[in-house]
């Protein structure tokens, strides 16, 4: 069930991990401009991957991070907040920070491929090709890619898996002329394939809406008809601002989420008076 979380505390058969007692100065580089909280968060991510920690495992506590890395309580808390925001851990007041249920959470506005995002989180990506071939663009694709309906495009439909769970359904539309055809290996990152062919992806415009599955999509994602999803439409651009890829995706609502960090813009002094 979406939103369900099972937490196992130490002493209930789960493994607990606390960083080794080493001087903080040996663990993080204080001479680099990279923020301390970011360095600590990355080290904790690496520990989770290296130790193959499971849901419910105790990662650490704010106090232990503060001690082990010789940083302020605010810095320690911000480092763990990074992992919480990414959906990697849950903070339980008075008990510590525990590994959460596996869920792919994409931080915006980072522009990563599905494969890149999974590998970053230590999850195993897998792809099933539903169909691939040349076709005429539909109205949405033609508008996004600035093409006439008579132009030929490559249409690629795939199911993407994370640790053997079907996470999202994607339909990618590429204009003809990039040297990429139906016989390519599309099991990995499409971004990587395009960049290997000299197509630099630099920007993207993404629209995300709430939706539900129909019968076909439910079958492909192994859920019932009417299951909640995030419906995504994204257009990617090259360095010259030319649209080079249009994608429509359906992401399972129980396994996929987007995280956005917002910054409040201060009004001009003249408007506050």
Per-residue pLDDT reduced to its tens digit, 6-47: 333 333 334 444 444 444 444 788 887 788 888 898 889 888
Position 194 scores a pLDDT of: 93
For the chain, give percent helix, strand, coil, nearest 5: 25, 30, 45
pLDDT (0 to 100) of residue 20: 40
Q: What is the pLDDT of residues 95-107, one digit of tens each?
A: 889 987 655 555 4
**Contact criterion met (CB below 8 Å) for 178 and 201:** no
CATH number of 104-260: 3.40.1410.10
The pLDDT tens digits for 107-155 are 455 556 677 666 666 667 889 999 999 999 999 999 999 998 889 999 9
**Cβ atoms of residues 137 and 154 within 8 Å:** no
H/E element holding 74?
helix 73-85
Residue ranges per domain, the chain? 24-99, 104-260
* Per-residue pLDDT tens over the stretch 59-73: 999 999 999 999 999
Q: Confirm or reject CATH 1.10.10.10 for domain 24-99, answering yes or no.
A: yes
Cβ-contact 226, 212 below 8 angstroms: yes
**Res. 54 pLDDT band, cuts 50 70 90:** confident
Q: What is the pLDDT of residues 164-194, one digit of tens each?
A: 889 889 999 999 989 999 999 999 889 889 9
Which of the two residues, 16 and 156, has the higher pLDDT score?
A: 156
Determine the pLDDT at residue 3: 35
Of 121, 123, 150, nearest in space to 138 by CA? 150
Which pLDDT does position 267 carry in this prediction? Answer: 59
Backbone angles phi, psi at 90, to 5 degrees: -120, 135
């Amino acid at each position: 069930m979406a939103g369900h979380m099972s937490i196992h505390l130490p002493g209930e058969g789960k493994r607990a991990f606390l960083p080794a007692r080493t001087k903080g100065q040996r663990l993080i580089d204080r001479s680099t401009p990279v923020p301390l909280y970011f360095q600590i968060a990355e080290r904790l991510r690496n520990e989770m991957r290296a130790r193959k920690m499971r849901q419910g495992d105790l990662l650490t506590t704010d106090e232990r991070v503060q001690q082990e890395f010789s940083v302020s309580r605010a810095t320690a808390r911000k480092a763990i907040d990074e992992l919480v925001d990414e959906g990697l851990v849950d903070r339980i007041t008075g008990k510590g920070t525990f590994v959460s249920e596996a869920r792919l959470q994409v931080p915006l506005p980072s522009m990563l491929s599905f494969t890149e995002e999974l590998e970053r989180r230590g999850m195993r990506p897998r792809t099933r090709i539903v169909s691939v071939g040349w076709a005429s663009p539909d109205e949405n694709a033609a508008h996004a890619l600035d093409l006439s309906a008579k132009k030929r495009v490559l249409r690629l439909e795939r199911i993407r898996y994370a640790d053997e769970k079907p996470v999202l359904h994607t339909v990618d539309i590429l204009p003809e002329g990039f040297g990429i055809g139906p016989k390519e290996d599309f099991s990995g990152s499409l971004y990587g394939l395009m960049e290997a062919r000299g197509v630099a992806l630099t920007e993207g415009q993404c629209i995300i809406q709430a939706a539900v599955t129909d019968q076909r999509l439910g079958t492909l994602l192994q859920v019932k008809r009417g299951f909640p999803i995030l419906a995504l439409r994204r257009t990617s651009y090259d360095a010259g601002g030319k649209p080079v890829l249009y994608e429509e995706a359906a992401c399972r609502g129980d396994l996929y989420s987007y995280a956005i960090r917002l910054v409040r813009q201060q009004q001009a002094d003249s408007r506050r008076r």
